[in-house]
Amino acid sequence: MPQNINTTSDLIKFIKDRDPEQTEFHQAVEEVFMSISSILDKDEEALQTALRMVEPERSIIFRVPWIDDNGKIQINRGYRVQFSSTLGPYKGGLRFTDNVNLSIVKFLGFEQTFKNALTGLPLGSGKGGSDFSPKGKSDNEVMRFCQSFMTELYRHIGPNTDVPAGDIGVGGREIGYLFGQYKRISDSFSGVLTGKGEDFGGSAIRPEATGYGVVFYLEEMLKSEDEDLKGKRVLVSGSGNVAQYTVEKLLQKGAVPVTMSDSNGYLYFENGISKEDLKSIMELKNEKRGRLKDFKSNNAKYHDGKKPWSEKAEIAAPCATQNEIEEKDAKRLKESGVKYIVEGANMPSTPEAVHFFLKNDFYFGPAKAANLGGVACSLFEMSQNSIRLQWTRNDVEEKLQQVMKNCYDRCRKAAESIGEPKNLLAGANLSAFKKVSKAMIAQGAV
């Protein structure tokens, strides 16, 4: 261990000094380790293991050349950070948005380490992507980019080595193009990507899994308080995959989701989003690649340039992107009557907002636990690929619900062990840290 690292604060300072520009990564590391600092500060071996845990096993950065529809060569940067294979093969999504950089990929990979540990399944962690955005691109341009991206990535992945999946900007279309190119180059049909179409090796409810898992986790939170979802008003942010299927499952459970948003503004439904409204929004976003301002309905009012956190509700489910809830938004949520926060996006709340939630008696469901449904279902897809069988939709949903219940129970038990039964954030971090560190120590200095 480097000299002068004797406390958690020393460790955080070392990480910030070494890579000062990686602010998103610093935020993720600080959130995890400061929440369990009472454990780390008393145990030198635990602190040493934490230092090992923040260094990815491998970081890959590569050029991605592709040709646009005008015949012009474009260049983007590709990433794959293989963070930890301690518990299993590297596993985590690919993100295609114009703000992707090494800091964001490392933060996502680090979070994935803890998230995957909380599933209780044999999964390591990784994350990747590119500063390419599919928005405004033709299908042919997206295909050419994906093929070029996979032409480099394929040499670093495999069904027992590293199994990428989708994330923001990488849906079924992109996964299909990536898988096709991998198959073409490697001359093999294998479970090297998850999120595939069911016609070529995908799992039932894989697209729905993250959003459904958010609701299953929320149900466990409510049960512990002798409440249920029926009739509860829910603020949902985002309008992509996670938000869409969070809303779908909320409707099935009798809740009343009242908002959805995108980067330009949000829609508010006074009487709740209907199944027909959701169907129209999914068509707008998934097929027409449109914006919510273009959604036409007598049931909805569009608020341009604003966030949905001022509307009255009991529950908030941020499902858009990192750091979308700032401290001022957290205060608005309290004024709006919100008591439960369940995070569908990765790290959607700033540290200041999280601190406000924990100090003001919100029941807070952290992302690394609440949104692990997607990666759990990815493991189900990997398992089905390995045995060359396909499970029914009911089979997969039952397994997913059990994973989410088990995850909640682990978080709650660990939180109770430190005398803070409702601090699911500390519980999630502590439970996952113990699992990963125990395996790391057993495997030696690797």
Question: Known catalytic residue: 127?
Answer: yes
**CB of 363 within 8 A of CB of 341?**
yes
What angle in degrees, to the nearest 10, is found between the helix axes of 102-118 and 373-387?
70
b or e along 146-185 (b: 16 or more beta carbons within 10 Å of the residue's beta carbon)? Answer: bbbbbbebbebbbeeebbbbbbbbbbbbbbbbbbebbbee
Q: Where are the beta strands (DSSP E) in 206-333?
A: 233-237, 256-262, 265-269, 300-304, 315-318
* 280, burial (CB in 10 Å: exposed 0-12, middle 13-18, buried 19+): middle
**Can you give the C-alpha Rg of the chain in angstroms?**
21
65-87 burial code (b ≥16 CB/10 A, e <16): ebeeeeeeebebebbbbbbbbbb
CA distances from residue 205 to 250, 374, 377, 422 in whole angstroms, order as listed:
16, 9, 8, 30
Report how far Cα 125 is from the mean position of its chain's Cα atoms: 12
- Residue among 91, 106, 127, 249 flagged as catalytic: 127
Residue 90, classed as helix, strand or coil, is strand
Residue 335: how many other CB atoms lie within 10 Å? 10
Q: Are strands 315-318 and 233-237 parallel, antiparallel or unpaired?
A: parallel
Residue 299 burial (CB < 10 Å; 0-12/13-18/19+)? Answer: middle
List Cβ neighbours of 110 (8 Å cut-off, separation of 6 or more).
25, 28, 29, 32, 54, 83, 125
Which backbone phi and psi does 236 adopt, to 5 degrees?
-115, 130
Q: Are 16 and 26 in contact (CB under 8 A)?
A: yes
Please state, in angstroms and rounded to a whole number, the distance separating the CA atoms of residues 403 and 117.
12
Lay out the sheet containing 125-130: strands in order across.
Answer: 58-67, 73-84, 125-130, 90-96, 162-165
Tokens 């955080």 belong to residue: 12
d(CA 83, CA 55): 7
Q: Which residue has the tokens 């090297």?
A: 192
For the annotated catalytic residues, the residue numbers are 127
